[in-house]
Each structure stands twice: as C-alpha cells, then as structure tokens.
Amino acid sequence: MFKPSFSALAYLALFGTISLASCSKEQQVQPDQPEQVAQDQAELAYPGQTGEAKAGEWGGQPVSYQEINGDKVYEGDILLTSEQLTSGSDGDQQRPGSAGRTTGRWPSGIVYYTIDAALPNQARVTDAIAHWQANSPVRFIARTTQTAYVTFRVGSGCSSNIGRTGSRQYINLASGCSTGNTIHEIGHAVGLFHEQTRNDRDTFVNILTQNIQSGYEGNFTKYSASGYGGTDYGALDFGSIMMYGSFSFSSNGQPTITKKDGSTFNIQRTGLSAGDKSGIDAMY
Ligand SMILES: [Zn+2]
C-alpha cells in the first residue's frame, strides 16, 4: 500500500542501490586482489556494449540513457519503455519523485508473472521469488489473464523494466545471471532504482569520476541533476542488493565509489538487506 508521506523516489533511491554485480557471479569482492575486481560489475543489459547516448524526457523531466539494440538502457540494466519516454504522455504516472509514481507499483503488492519455457535454470527465478516472498510483503502469482505482468526470459545480460508498466514487461536473464542478480532485477520491476542517485549520496560516498568507464558516467548521476525531485529515505545502505560496489564500472582497476573515509566496500548480491526490507515495507 502506498503511503503518500514518503516520496516514491525516496523508496526508489533507497532500494535502488547501485548494482554492479556482474551477471556471472555473486560478488564477494576483495578489492586488494585485482583478479577479483572484474567481478565487481553491475548488472548490465548488454555487457561489453555501449550505445548511442540519448537525452529524452521521462514524465516531463530530462533523462539520459543509451540506445542499444533498440532498447533504451538507463543505468546499465534498466530498460525504459517508449511510453515512459514519451513527453507529456502519462508523464505524471511515470515520474519518479511524484505521488503519481504509485502507478508504477503493483496494486496490493501482487506481481503477476510467467517464466518463458526456454529460460535455462529456472530455479534462479523461483529461488529469487521465494526470497522476496520470505522477506517482503510483495507476492508473486502466476499470470492467467492479467494484462500487466512480468515475463522472465533469456537475455543478453541481466535487465528489467522499472516499475509496473501496465502491460507485459520483461526481466531478461543471461546464463550468467545469478539468483542474486535476479533478486536485484525484481527490485527494479517493483520500482527500485540504484542507490547512487540519491540526492544525499555525497554525504556517504565519494564518486571518483576519473575512474569510471567512458559511457557509464550517467550511472553515477544524482537524480536531482537529472531534474527529479524526491526525498531520500533512511541512510545510504552499502549492503543493499541494489547498491554498486566500489569497483563497479571502473576503467582502470581503481575505485569508482568509496566511503567518505576513502575505504572501499564490497558489492552484495546474496539477498535483501535489512535496509532494503524496511524500505520495501514502507513502499508496499
Ligand atoms: Zn540494476
């Protein structure tokens, strides 16, 4: 149930921690061991590919994204729909930081879903769903005739639409996407963004722009800089399953994000953190 005393974006930012887990592994990054740095990758819709940088509008607000293979990719693994990017078309319903964002949530916290028969290792999906149901009020019901539902299917990377789009939407899972990555992608589908977009993130982290891979700088833009309003909720949660790791999107093996004291932190793709759970409780 939506509680209008909190801004939607706050929830989105809270849960939308940066997920830099590589699709291939559950990260337990040891930053001192360079061979493991490569594991500290966020989920990506198209690993190894960058597309044409585009600027559009989302709910009347400017948004930067990349167009890759016809998809509109935002923050690496979020797929925006054409409807979301159509200026003036239902904008209030899709606008982060406005109460209208509630339409991006699933009524009564019920997510209808199907699993494409061609998807290998479907236990990733069923295990991720079981984790969500054990740790949040969100419920998952096999779709029958509903028009709005999530289909889990094979993808080139790990990716998801953001929030309930109102029609069929997808969570795309390459073979390397783990159960943890799937939990993260479900987070996007229920309306969570990445944590690094919080307005108050500079209170908690340093962003080392010089170490970010070319083409991924936009993944580190605060939502206020993108024109969004909103209120941050809770403290930035380094343990969130939606949070990037220190070396996510690094171009040179040096950290892209550190704590304020300069120390690095690991990426977490095991399950919803305590902070994730409290935020989702407030959201749903
Ligand atoms: Zn993500």
Half-sphere exposure of 45 (CA within 13 A, CB side): 25
- The environment of the single-atom ion ligand 1, i.e. residues with CB closer than 5 A, is 19, 43, 77
Active-site residue identified among 43, 75, 185, 195: 185
Q: What is the Å distance from ligand 1's center to 163 Cα?
A: 12
What whole-number distance in Å separates Cα of residue 252 and Cα of residue 221? 20
pLDDT per position as a tens digit, 208-263: 999 998 878 878 877 655 544 444 567 788 999 989 999 998 999 999 999 999 99
The residues that bridge with 159 in the sheet, in sequence order, are 172
What whole-number distance in Å separates Cα of residue 97 and Cα of residue 76? 21
Rounded to an integer, the average pLDDT of 198-207 is 88
What whole-number distance in Å separates Cα of residue 182 and Cα of residue 149? 16
The residues that bridge with 78 in the sheet, in sequence order, are 74, 160
Q: What is the Å distance from ligand 1's center to 198 Cα?
A: 14
Q: What is the Å distance from ligand 1's center to 181 Cα?
A: 8
pLDDT per position as a tens digit, 28-46: 443 333 333 334 668 999 9
What whole-number distance in Å separates Cα of residue 149 and Cα of residue 164? 8
Q: What is the Å distance from ligand 1's center to 239 Cα?
A: 14
What whole-number distance in Å separates Cα of residue 175 and Cα of residue 173? 6
Rounded to an integer, the average pLDDT of 157-182 is 94
Half-sphere exposure of 71 (CA within 13 A, CB side): 24
Annotated ligand binding at 131? The verdict is: no
Cβ contact 16:199 at 8 Å: no
* 8-283 CATH fold: Collagenase (Catalytic Domain) (3.40.390)
Question: What is the distance of C-alpha 194 from the center of its chain?
Answer: 5
Q: Answer yes or no: 52 catalytic.
A: no
Q: From residue 151, give the alpha-carbon distance in Å to each of 125, 136, 158, 194, 223.
A: 11, 20, 13, 22, 28
Which sequence spans correspond to the domains of the chain?
8-283
